[in-house]
Amino acid sequence: MSTTTSVFTKPLSAVRRVDWRQNVIYIGFVAAFLLFAITLGNDGFTTPNNLLNIVRQTASISVMAVAMTYVIATAEIDLSIGSVAGLSSVVAAIAISHFGTVVGILAGLGVGLVIGAVNGGLVSLLKVPSFLVTLGMLGLVVGVARWITDSAPIPIADPFFNALFGGGDIGIIPGLLIWALVFVAVGALVMNKTKFGRQVLATGGNQTAAQFTGINTSRIKFTVLVLSGLAASVAGMLYAGRLQSGRFQWGTGDELSVIAAVILGGTSLFGGRGRVVGSLFGALFIGLVNNGLILAGLDVSQQQIIRGAIIIAAVALSKKK
Amino acid sequence: MTGAATADVTGAATGTTVSAEQVVEMSGISKAFSGIVVLKNVDFSLVKGEVHALAGENGAGKSTLMKILQGVYTADSGEIRVDGIPVKITDTFAARAAGIGMVFQEFSLISTLTVAQNVFLTAEPIERGFLISDRVARERTAAIFADMGVEVDPAAPLANLSTAYWQLTEIAKALAQNAKVLIMDEPTASLAKHEAEALFELIGRLKARGISIIYISHRMDEIYRIADRITVLRDGAHVLTSALSSITPAEIVEGIVGRKIDGQLEWRERAASAGRVPVLEATGLTSGARVRDVSFTLCEGEIIGLAGLMGSGRTELVRALFGIDALSSGSVKIGGKPVTIRSTKQAMARGLALIPEDRRSQGLVLEHSVRDNLMLPLLDRTTSGGFLNAQKIVSLAQTLISKFSIKVSNPTMAVGKLSGGNQQKVVIAKWLGTEPKVLMMDEPTAGVDIGTKSEILDMVRAIADDGKGVLFISSELPELLAVSDRILVLRNGEVVKNMVRSEIPNEEYLQLAIQGA
């Protein structure tokens, strides 16, 4: 070996630097938890029941955040998830009352599949920006959900569905927590340990380079948007099961919480980095803050202000410099 | 395919007799894009273990020919043989299967992944059925780098590494796919001198392993240094193929430009010599870690060349002067008057202009028309009553286009469609339109063919003749020596030498000053 080889040697400390931004969510989560535990301990914040409630309330957000991690990692966005959740809840409710549980669940999933495929097709085949496609879809889907229900809630009187998608506990563990954990576990495994996950990161990291390497980036984008639609329909049914009804409002505005959770979790809004476990903690952090603010006596409008500020802070922190 | 007739491959198609084993043979390649012919019946061959330089002006068809070899484009007619066997390269997969690897000029790497993850992207080692193993990928990557004789940490995120490492990763990626042929497009364009040296040694080792390299470059010294043969293309046609031992640089240049160019890269006395009136005086400039206590005086009509390695602080110095990076100390006088510059807007108002390093990302809005790009810094001067005045815009743009002989059929054409050299002329024209007192140019000839290069250097001389002060950054020393009245050498952000042109006897002397030897 020649002497010039030293030119290409770099001290490890320089290249193995840990970017604290990617882990800020865990610090933030612990800090927020301790803050509320100390200041709101007497208001019941730390009771097991309250903590499990936080988990139940954020299960839908967590499920959608797992899929949104993939969408954002490919440098796309899906704004339609909240309204897809609402439409899935009403379609599932209607189908259950006419055709039973199984058809109801399939119908609910079908909503997410179809809308996800339309989003994905428009983005990957017609190259329409996902921001515009899914923004349009957001309004369109809410309209459909209101139209087919006359804006009225559809009760679900199916104990099995309600137990499976919401109310049920296994021991003291809420079923909703299990849903969220299964999604996160599968999502994290696929992202970090499979070819598909690696191709998602490559597509978002540098689309041209990914294409030159032989990755079908259109298919990747299509697939992640379909997955996002499916996850949104599962989330919609989790709302429906927990609240024992389908209603177009379920999920309204969730896209903002989900995107905030994903960005807080360390996924780059500019693509190429996806952290599924981080997204779970992002969702829990938002749930924690909402819960704490309620216990602290703030009203809905004040909660909205604080949540908006957190989203801005999250995006500012995710910027490269 | 019918052909098993592989025995009588002689390389006669290229006009050279080569007894060695032909790895790639492209014959009669033609290609047209929407009716415009970019390749006409081109022949090209590559022998096992050779470095074959491919030269030509921008737009001569080099990259199209290489993209056909890689399967990015498909030829309209012609035949490609790999190891003597005719192949149809219809996409990048087919090219890779045939053993063709590309080291891209604009890299094909994902900055958010690690080195090993990039090397094995889409070819990840699999364990337990479907799980990819980053550990195995890291081990194999380390082995490839060891074979290459370089040390790179396979687990390092690419985003933390410099360009030289990106290139090594590209090469490792091609080798991981068992490439027999590497295509390197301007590989030293963004390397410092010592990194380029290391690359040349690596190329030597790859050659010894029987890997063939197609080497695209504008730099004659490099071509003579490492290539065995050269093929020159001009206007989409094959001009010559020759062993480098039997061709002179002048013959190559003549082949590239189609005419003789005499002394374009030699120092020439200008019509007006540098004046004595200072236009820009910098004292003790410090900005960040890369600009430290820099002082100099630039006079009217003077060209100061800024020399130094990558990262020596040349770019950072002009950025600080132009108000992009903040100065932590030091003072600037323009025309004898002390000024503070905190924004690019202030810098322009004080009579400064900066032509940035990367024209595509920093200097032009590629989708916008030539005219709109030219007018961007001049919008204040083309309004009447708050609205843009179409007549003023049309006539001002036309003046600039003819003054700087920008080759464009229609000023409303998107600037992205022009050749690299013409794009650079648009950038220069755009900033000169603001009539600055001081023009700062950062690598204005990077990636520009030799014909346009000499035109740009003539423009620089003309700008100085016009009484303007010029700060000229270039990594190509012949160029610096051709136009500079004075050369400042920067190292680690400090000015280590301030030399009048006549004090510099030759290129080697300047090179030594830069290297700090």
- The CA distance from B446 to B472, in Å, is 12
Q: Is residue B88 domain-shared with residue B195, that is, in the same domain?
A: yes
Using DSSP's 3-state secondary structure scheme, residue B454 falls into helix
Q: What are φ and ψ of residue B59, in 5° steps?
A: 90, 0
Name the minimum distance, in Å, from the CA of A197 to any CA of chain B: 10
- Reported as half-sphere exposure (CB side, CA atoms, 13 A), residue B194 has a value of 16
**B chain contacts of residue A208, beta-carbon cutoff 8 Å:** 106, 108
- The CA distance from A82 to A64, in Å, is 9
Residue A229's pLDDT is what?
97
Please name the residue of chain B whose CA is at the shortest distance from the CA of residue A12.
B153
Question: How large is the angle between the packed helices A48-73 and A217-243, nearest 10 degrees?
Answer: 160
Please name the residue of chain A whose CA is at the shortest distance from the CA of residue B192.
A7
Minimal Cβ distance to B121: which of A17, A202, A268: A202
**Alpha-carbon dihedral sign for residues B363, B353, B500, B265:** positive
Residue A11 falls inside a structural domain: no
**B chain contacts of residue A270, beta-carbon cutoff 8 Å:** none
- The CA distance from B145 to B150, in Å, is 6
User: Which residue segment(s) compose the domain that A69 sits in?
Assistant: 18-318
**B chain contacts of residue A321, beta-carbon cutoff 8 Å:** none
Tell me if A212 and B104 make a contact (CB, 8 A cut-off). Answer: yes
- The CA distance from B140 to B134, in Å, is 10
Residue A257 falls inside a structural domain: yes
Q: Is residue B364 domain-shared with residue B302, that is, in the same domain?
A: no
Which letter does DSSP use for residue B72 in this model? S
Q: Is residue B312 domain-shared with residue B249, that is, in the same domain?
A: no
Choose the mutation target among A213, A215, A320, A321 for the interface with B, i.e. most B CBs under 10 Å.
A213
Q: Is residue B393 domain-shared with residue B414, that is, in the same domain?
A: yes
Residue B5 falls inside a structural domain: no
Please name the residue of chain A whose CA is at the shortest distance from the CA of residue B115.
A15
Which residues fall within 8 angstroms of residue A301, CB to CB, at 6 or more apart?
Answer: none
Tell me if A198 and B121 make a contact (CB, 8 A cut-off). Answer: yes
Please name the residue of chain A whose CA is at the shortest distance from the CA of residue B70.
A212
Q: Is residue B164 domain-shared with residue B252, that is, in the same domain?
A: yes
Residue B448 falls inside a structural domain: no
Residue A35 falls inside a structural domain: yes
Residue A123 falls inside a structural domain: yes
Please name the residue of chain B whose CA is at the shortest distance from the CA of residue A199.
B122
Burial zone of B122 (CB within 10 Å; 0-12 exposed, 13-18 middle, 19+ buried): middle
Name the minimum distance, in Å, from the CA of A1 to any CA of chain B: 6
Tell me if A205 and B164 make a contact (CB, 8 A cut-off). Answer: no
Q: How many CB atoms lie within 10 A of CB B132?
A: 20
Minimal Cβ distance to B110: which of A7, A10, A272: A272
Residue A301 falls inside a structural domain: yes
Name the minimum distance, in Å, from the CA of B365 to any CA of chain A: 20
Q: Is residue B151 domain-shared with residue B253, that is, in the same domain?
A: yes
DSSP secondary structure string for all residues of A1-55: --GGGGGG---HHHHS---HHHHHHHHHHHHHHHHHHHHSGGGTTTSHHHHHHHH
Residue A60 falls inside a structural domain: yes
Total domains present in chain A: 1
DSSP secondary structure string for all residues of A183-226: HHHHHHHHHHHSHHHHHHHHHHH-HHHHHHTT--HHHHHHHHHH
Choose the mutation target among A2, A8, A189, A208 for the interface with B, i.e. most B CBs under 10 Å.
A8
Q: Is residue B477 domain-shared with residue B401, that is, in the same domain?
A: no
Name the minimum distance, in Å, from the CA of B499 to any CA of chain A: 29
Tell me if A214 and B122 make a contact (CB, 8 A cut-off). Answer: yes
CA angle A286, A288, A293 (to 5 degrees): 95
Residue B148's pLDDT is what?
82
Residue B144 falls inside a structural domain: yes
Q: Is residue B375 domain-shared with residue B504, that is, in the same domain?
A: no
Q: Do A283 and A61 form a contact (C-beta atoms < 8 A)?
A: yes
Question: How large is the angle between the packed helices B420-432 and B390-403, nearest 10 degrees?
Answer: 120
Residue B6 falls inside a structural domain: no
Choose the mutation target among B89, B91, B93, B112 for the interface with A, i.e. most A CBs under 10 Å.
B112
Residue B2's pLDDT is what?
39
Name the minimum distance, in Å, from the CA of B151 to any CA of chain A: 5
Q: How many CB pairs below 8 Å do chains A and B form together?
A: 103
Residue B360's pLDDT is what?
62
Q: Is residue B209 domain-shared with residue B311, that is, in the same domain?
A: no
Total domains present in chain B: 3
CA–CA distance from B319 to each of A29, B190, B301 (Å)? 40, 19, 22
Residues A227-262 have pLDDT tens digits of 999 999 999 999 999 999 999 999 998 998 899 899
* Domain edge (last residue) among B196, B227, B257: B257
Residue A8 falls inside a structural domain: no
Q: A125-133, long-range: CB within 8 Å, 24+ apart, which pairs?
A: A125/A218, A125/A222, A130/A71, A130/A76, A130/A77, A130/A78, A130/A221, A130/A225, A131/A77, A131/A79
Q: CATH code at A35?
A: 1.10.3470
Element (H, E) at B134: helix B134-148
Residue B440 falls inside a structural domain: no
Residues B336-393 have pLDDT tens digits of 899 988 888 888 888 998 888 776 666 777 788 888 888 887 777 777 777 777 888 8
Residue B6's pLDDT is what?
37
Choose the mutation target among B67, B121, B151, B203 for the interface with A, i.e. most A CBs under 10 Å.
B121
- The CA distance from B344 to B285, in Å, is 17
- The CA distance from B321 to B342, in Å, is 9
CA–CA distance from A284 to each of A239, A269, B460 (Å)? 17, 19, 61
Strand duo B469-473 + B303-307: pairing: parallel
Q: Is residue B345 domain-shared with residue B418, that is, in the same domain?
A: no
Q: Is residue B222 domain-shared with residue B151, that is, in the same domain?
A: yes
Q: Which of B274, B223, B269, B275 minimizes the C-alpha distance to B249?
A: B223
Residue type, A299: D
Strand duo B352-355 + B229-234: pairing: unpaired
Q: Is residue B345 domain-shared with residue B359, that is, in the same domain?
A: no
Please name the residue of chain B whose CA is at the shortest distance from the CA of residue A212.
B108
Q: Which of B138, B140, B240, B434 minimizes the C-alpha distance to A16?
A: B138
Give buried/exposed letters for A56-71 (b at 16+ CB in 10 A, else e).
bbbbbbbbbbbbbbbb
Residues B298-311 have pLDDT tens digits of 999 999 999 987 67
Residue B211 falls inside a structural domain: yes
**A chain contacts of residue B164, beta-carbon cutoff 8 Å:** 7-8
- The CA distance from B269 to B303, in Å, is 12
Tell me if A17 and B160 make a contact (CB, 8 A cut-off). Answer: yes
Q: What parts of chain B have a pLDDT lower than 50?
A: 1-18
User: Which residue segment(s) compose the domain that B517 sits in?
Assistant: 276-351+472-517
- The CA distance from A258 to A268, in Å, is 14
Minimal Cβ distance to A201: which of B112, B149, B152: B112
Q: Which of B312, B304, B284 minimizes the C-alpha distance to B493?
A: B312
Name the minimum distance, in Å, from the CA of B105 to any CA of chain A: 12
Token readout for A45 is 């914040």
- The CA distance from A50 to B513, in Å, is 71
Q: CATH code at B281?
A: 3.40.50.300
**B chain contacts of residue A212, beta-carbon cutoff 8 Å:** 72, 92, 102, 104, 108
ipTM of model: 0.79
Tell me if A209 and B108 make a contact (CB, 8 A cut-off). Answer: yes
Tell me if A8 and B111 make a contact (CB, 8 A cut-off). Answer: no
Residue B459 falls inside a structural domain: no
- The CA distance from B302 to B167, in Å, is 37
Residue B458 falls inside a structural domain: no
Q: Do A26 and A281 form a contact (C-beta atoms < 8 A)?
A: yes
Name the minimum distance, in Å, from the CA of A278 to any CA of chain B: 17
Element (H, E) at A173: strand A173-174
Q: Do A297 and A208 form a contact (C-beta atoms < 8 A)?
A: no
Question: Checking phi first, is residue B227 left (phi over 0); if not, alpha (psi -120 to 50) or beta?
Answer: beta
Residue A9 falls inside a structural domain: no
- The CA distance from B237 to B231, in Å, is 11
- The tens place of each residue's pLDDT in chain A, 321 residues long, gives 333 344 454 444 344 445 666 677 888 889 889 988 998 888 888 888 888 889 888 999 999 999 999 999 999 999 999 999 999 999 999 999 999 899 999 999 999 999 999 999 999 999 999 999 999 999 999 999 999 999 899 999 888 988 888 877 777 788 899 999 999 999 999 999 999 999 999 999 988 888 877 788 999 999 999 999 999 999 999 999 999 999 999 999 899 889 989 988 888 888 888 999 999 999 999 899 888 888 888 888 888 888 788 778 766 765 553
